[in-house]
Amino acid sequence: MNEYAGQDPDGATVAGANVGGNSVGIVEKQAFTFAQPPDPMSLESGASIGPVTIAYETCGSLNKEKTNVILVLHALSGDSHMAGFYTPEDAKPGWWDTMVGPGKGIDTDNYYVICTNILGSCMGSTGPASIDPSTGKEYAFRFPMITITDMVTAQKALMDHLGIKKLLSVIGGSVGGMQVLEWCIRYPSMVVSAVPLATTCRHSALAIAFNEVARQSIMADPHWNNGDYYGQKKPDMGLAIARMIGHITYLSDESMRHKFGRKLQNKSALSFEFGAEFQVESYLQYQGKKFIERFDANSFLYITKAADYFDLARGYGKGSLVKAFSRCQAKFMVISYTSDWLYPTYQSKEMVKAMKKNNLDVSFCEIEAQWGHDAFLLPDPRLENLIKGFLRSAVNESVAI
Amino acid sequence: MNPLRYDLKLIASWITPGTKILELGCGEGDLLHWLKREKQVVERGIEIKESKVVRCIERGLSVLHGDINEEIEDFPDNTFDYAICSQTLQQVYEPATLIRAMLRVAKMGVVSFPNFGHMKIRLKLITSGCAPVTEELPYSWHDTPNIRVLSLDDFQHFADQTGFKILKKAAINTQGVQGKIVRVFPNLLATYGIFLIGKQ
């Protein structure tokens, strides 16, 4: 199968990138464990879990006053590896290396940037693939249901542990953007500024529908075995299909037309058989195959469910989004993309409207891009300049206060 | 910092320091940027063109990407001290609705526009018989964004009919950063008019 250059929504690839130049260089994954028995972490569902480990990485240096902290929050299947390399031999840098680094949009010469792996994931933080200390076996489907609220609770515990009391900015796209909004509402006096990118205050029926089809494809895989597949054959086919569905929603009609059109894969004529004949088929199969190598099917189930449950109006405003934002104090910059049909611009405008009604300081820009939901992860000087300028004004205004 | 255009400088001179400003159609944010630095105002802008919005935010301004007629609606009453609409009113489909919205969200409004009553325009129409094309209104009838051509006197009548007060006005002749106030026969000799307006 072909190796495709270009983007991957949770792991942007950069051709020819290497250590040095404007890279943050070598980074190290760290871990923080808390909620040790007998004090487990309480979850939104009423259940509790402990101990909880959160994987995180940092770039740049923390200033003496601890006022230059930026928290980057990743999307569904991302990880704490936002920038740089683990070893000089790494083929690829972190997933947002185009944005985070010396002189870049999030300038590591000025800011101390932290990225944590979300609760429920499988990239170092506690999730369904982690060992349940009470049984000595993987949690699997005995892992409690988690929400965006719980992810933020765990991130807050890490900030407390690091002694960080102010976040100059909280930045994230997609499911990361949901965490950004959650942070601003839960810890209003801690967040100076926030950048929710290509995100929403609640999933539309369309978004839930796609997630449900993806989940059903995993759970219909005979190897899923009610979640108990660790140490044996995994539900690879189900997870690969789930990823393929996801990928369709990350692109757009226009980007697929540009990228693939009706081009055939390695052939010039139709072969009238059920192989991957069209390039778009081959691309999706490749994405599915790549995904099963790095992601856990149960994590996918839990995190998509958390995203579907997310509803700021329900959670914090008794159904009113305006009320939900009434406690916020942060300065906002909301960004949407013209071709994003997963979280369309009208959803960003809804949150902007609620912010305006609360007299919050909000900027909004709908960026013209053909790449669909994926666009926020692609190198784009417009987004880089927007973030750079916005952060500078957040610094100036926080000094003035 | 680049010097401000003359008409913007005049508007800026009317603004009380430390106030809260909304600018409709703020472009690249020249006026807001100047007011923020020199008069410590709290600024908000609305701009429809993406590249200009990006420029504003890069400069550290708080700006919303969108249509002024729609975006102004979400602000609560009396959020601002001034709502400024500089050289945009002539492009608005429902000017009365917009001005009412400006005076709802702000205590006062500032409106400026090119004067269609200027001598040059009158002469052009009489001598050529064609829709006038001037420096201030440089478009042909078929490709102009300026769908509402009005004179300084028209605005005065409009204020009486619509029910808002003109608190202060300036008729000017200007080119870039240069300009002067026109005191004699302003409706005939001024290229632009600037009005400070308030509720009746």
Cβ–Cβ gap A366/B65 under 8 Å: yes
Q: For A21-47, what is the mean pLDDT?
A: 95
Chain A nearest C-alpha distance from B39 (Å) = 15
pLDDT tens per residue across span B149-177: 999 999 999 999 999 999 999 999 998 89
**A20-34, A333-347, B92-106: the lowest-pLDDT one:** A20-34
Q: For A161-169, what is the mean pLDDT?
A: 97
What per-residue confidence (pLDDT) applies to A7? 42
Q: For A236-243, what is the mean pLDDT?
A: 98
Candidate from B60, B65, B75 with C-beta closest to A393? B60
Using an 8 Å CB-CB cutoff, list chain B residues near A390.
Answer: 57, 60
Q: How confident is the model at residue B103 (pLDDT cuts 50, 70, 90)?
A: very high
Percentage above 90 pLDDT, chain A: 89
Chain A nearest C-alpha distance from B75 (Å) = 6
Check whether B2 has a pLDDT greater than 90: no
Check whether A103 has a pLDDT greater than 80: yes
What per-residue confidence (pLDDT) applies to A9? 44
Cβ–Cβ gap A357/B76 under 8 Å: yes
Q: How confident is the model at residue A49 (pLDDT cuts 50, 70, 90)?
A: very high
Nearest one of A112, A108, A25, A10 to A65, comparing CA atoms? A112
Candidate from A366, A385, A389 with C-beta closest to B50? A366
Nearest one of A347, A362, A395, A354 to A112, comparing CA atoms? A395
Q: For B89-114, what is the mean pLDDT?
A: 97
Q: How confident is the model at residue B46 (pLDDT cuts 50, 70, 90)?
A: very high
Mean pLDDT of chain B: 96
Check whether A260 has a pLDDT greater than 70: yes
Check whether A397 has a pLDDT greater than 90: no
Check whether A11 has a pLDDT greater than 50: no
Q: For A55-61, what is the mean pLDDT?
A: 98
Q: Which domains does chain B have, with CATH numbers?
A: 6-116+146-199 (3.40.50.150)
Q: What is the pTM of this model?
A: 0.94
Check whether A246 has a pLDDT greater than 90: yes
CB-based contact, A386 to chain B, within 8 Å: yes
CB-based contact, A346 to chain B, within 8 Å: no
Report how far apart, in Å, the C-alpha atoms of A340 and of each of A110, A181, A248, A249, A257 are: 31, 19, 11, 8, 15
What per-residue confidence (pLDDT) applies to B44? 98
Cβ–Cβ gap A385/B58 under 8 Å: yes
What per-residue confidence (pLDDT) applies to A21? 63
pLDDT tens per residue across span A74-91: 999 999 999 999 999 999
Check whether A39 has a pLDDT greater than 90: yes
Cβ–Cβ gap B75/A356 under 8 Å: yes
What per-residue confidence (pLDDT) applies to A16? 40
Using an 8 Å CB-CB cutoff, list chain A residues near B54.
Answer: 365, 382, 385-386
Check whether A13 has a pLDDT greater than 90: no
Using an 8 Å CB-CB cutoff, list chain A residues near B59.
Answer: 389
Chain B nearest C-alpha distance from A7 (Å) = 24
Check whether A17 has a pLDDT greater than 90: no
Which CATH number, 3.40.50.1820, 3.40.710.10, 3.40.50.720, 1.10.460.10, labels domain A30-203+315-400?
3.40.50.1820
Q: For B83-98, what is the mean pLDDT?
A: 96
CB-based contact, B97 to chain A, within 8 Å: no
Closest CA in chain B for residue A365:
B65
What per-residue confidence (pLDDT) applies to A12? 41
Q: How confident is the model at residue A289 (pLDDT cuts 50, 70, 90)?
A: very high
**A146-160, A263-277, A329-343, B152-166: the lowest-pLDDT one:** A263-277
**A271-285, A307-321, B9-23: the lowest-pLDDT one:** A271-285
Q: For A110-123, what is the mean pLDDT?
A: 98
Q: How confident is the model at residue A150 (pLDDT cuts 50, 70, 90)?
A: very high
Using an 8 Å CB-CB cutoff, list chain B residues near A386.
Answer: 54, 57-58
CB-based contact, A382 to chain B, within 8 Å: yes
Check whether A18 has a pLDDT greater than 70: no
Q: For residue A346, count CB atoms less than 10 angstroms from its CB and return exposed for 0-12, middle for 13-18, buried for 19 or more.
A: exposed
Q: How far is CA A116 from the centre of its chain?
A: 10
